[in-house]
């Protein structure tokens, strides 16, 4: 039996990313769970996170999580691999007990790695990620834990997020950088059969990535995986499910220009999206 405190006001599910990338996660989560409320927060003013130090990514992510908690969120998803790699564990183990032990922050790396086992046939996994995610070694560690027989090859793509944040993802200039990093990954092992887009911005470059990755390899995006894993999480944690409000709303917050964000989010979410500007500190 669920014994939720009746004084607790249900709140929206918070979705956080350094910028636009988390929209690729939000879109799939909303598709799968349309009745829930969401607050999306993009720290566009300080993106990209991928080239920043551990301390800074942790500090920025914690500020965002606290902001979303202040907005009434009980559950926050870090829809950002860099933040999941560099800040999630410290926030879960150190900060949450101090802030409010009943709130939860979840990341995107573990659910992605859990899924890989069902996808790869030969166990040769390629990961594209930001420099921060790649340097953290998080994917290798999680894959070694869950699938010790697999071989993991990582490739950092420092230019891919700036291309997306500057709305250049579908322009010819993007081809150069996508081809370069794809060649670098497949030079490590030509038999990679599964490529994970280990950064939530990268699905916005999907057509170009698909074009340069050999046809023998599948290219996996995280949106559906995270949506599926969230549904499963809420089933296993009915006490948290009860704290998630449901009126089908979605609010967009950005630390940069709200007009640019609204345009991008409307296009991407395929519905009108009006963003508001906020300041994190
Ligand atoms: N979208 C983020 C990720 O999944 C981070 C991008 C960045 O700000 O560098 O890693």
State which ligand 1 atom lies nearest to the alpha carbon of 201: 1
Q: Tell whether ligand 1 has an atom less than 6 A from the beta carbon of residue 255.
A: no
pLDDT for 142-174, tens place per residue? 999 999 999 999 999 999 999 998 889 999 999
- Dist. CA 175 → ligand 1 center (Å): 19
Residue whose CB lies within 8 A of the most ligand 1 atoms, among 16, 78, 109, 130, for a mutation test: 130
Q: Mean pLDDT across the stretch 18-45?
A: 97
| Atom number in ligand 1 closest to CA 50 | 9
Beta carbons within 8 Å of 263's beta carbon, 6+ residues apart: none
Ligand 1 geometric centre to CA of 187 (Å): 24
Nearest partner of 81 among 115, 49, 117, 43, judged by Cα: 49
Q: How far is the CA of 38 from the centre of ligand 1 (A)?
A: 20
Model pLDDT, residue 5: 63
How remote is the CA of residue 44 from the centroid of ligand 1, in Å?
11
Name the average pLDDT for the chain: 96
Active site residues: 80, 199
Chain segment 234-271, per-residue pLDDT in tens: 999 999 999 999 999 999 999 999 999 999 899 888 88
Q: What are the phi and psi torsion angles at 197 (to 5°)?
A: -80, 90
Q: How far is the CA of 198 from the centre of ligand 1 (A)?
A: 9
Residue 13 gets the label, from left (phi > 0), alpha (psi -120 to 50) or beta, of beta
User: Mutation test of ligand 1: which of 199, 223, 255, 268 has the most ligand atoms closer than 8 Å to its C-beta?
Assistant: 199
What atom in ligand 1 is closest to the CA of residue 51? 9
For the chain, domains (ranges, CATH) are: 13-107+224-277 (3.40.50.1860), 109-221 (3.40.50.1860)
Confidence of residue 6 (pLDDT cuts 50, 70, 90): low
Closest listed residue to residue 71, CA positions, set 239, 245, 247: 245
Tell me, using a 6 A CB cutoff, whether residue 199 lines ligand 1. yes
Question: pLDDT for 37-59, tens place per residue?
Answer: 999 999 999 999 999 999 999 99
Calculate ∠ Cα 56-169-140, nearest 5°: 50
C-alpha to C-alpha distance for 128 and 250, rounded to whole angstroms: 29
- State the distance between the two ends of the chain, measured CA to CA, in whole angstroms: 40
pLDDT tens-digit readout, 210-243: 999 999 999 999 999 999 999 999 999 999 999 9
Q: State the pLDDT at residue 48.
A: 95
Mean pLDDT of 8-12: 95
Give the chain's radius of gyration (CA, Å): 18
Asked if residue 100 has pLDDT above 50, the reply is yes
């Amino acid at each position: 039996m669920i014994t939720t405190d009746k004084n607790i006001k249900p709140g929206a599910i918070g979705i956080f990313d350094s910028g636009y990338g988390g929209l690729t996660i939000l879109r799939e989560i909303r598709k799968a769970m349309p009745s829930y409320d969401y607050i999306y927060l993009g720290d566009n003013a300080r993106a990209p996170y991928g080239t920043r130090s551990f301390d800074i990514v942790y500090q920025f992510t914690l500020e965002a999580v606290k902001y979303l908690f202040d907005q009434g969120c009980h559950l926050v998803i870090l829809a950002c691999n860099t933040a999941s790699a560099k800040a999630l564990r410290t926030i879960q183990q150190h900060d949450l007990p101090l802030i409010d032990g009943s709130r939860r922050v979840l990341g995107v790396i573990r659910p992605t790695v859990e899924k890989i086992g069902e996808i790869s046939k030969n166990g040769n996994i390629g990961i594209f990620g930001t420099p921060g995610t790649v340097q953290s070694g998080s994917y290798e560690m999680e894959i070694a834990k869950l699938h010790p027989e697999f071989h993991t090859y990582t490739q950092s793509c420092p230019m891919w997020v700036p291309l997306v944040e500057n709305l250049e993802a579908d322009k010819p200039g993007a081809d150069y950088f996508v081809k370069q990093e794809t060649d670098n990954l497949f030079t490590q092992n030509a038999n990679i059969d599964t490529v994970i887009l280990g950064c939530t911005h990268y699905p916005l470059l999907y057509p170009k990535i698909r074009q340069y990755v050999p046809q023998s390899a599948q290219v996996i995006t995280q949106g559906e995986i995270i949506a599926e894993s969230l549904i499963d999480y809420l089933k296993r944690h009915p006490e948290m499910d009860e704290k998630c409000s449901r009126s089908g709303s979605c609010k967009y917050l950005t630390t940069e220009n709200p007009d640019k964000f609204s345009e991008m989010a409307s296009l991407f979410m395929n519905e009108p999206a009006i963003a508001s500007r906020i300041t994190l500190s």
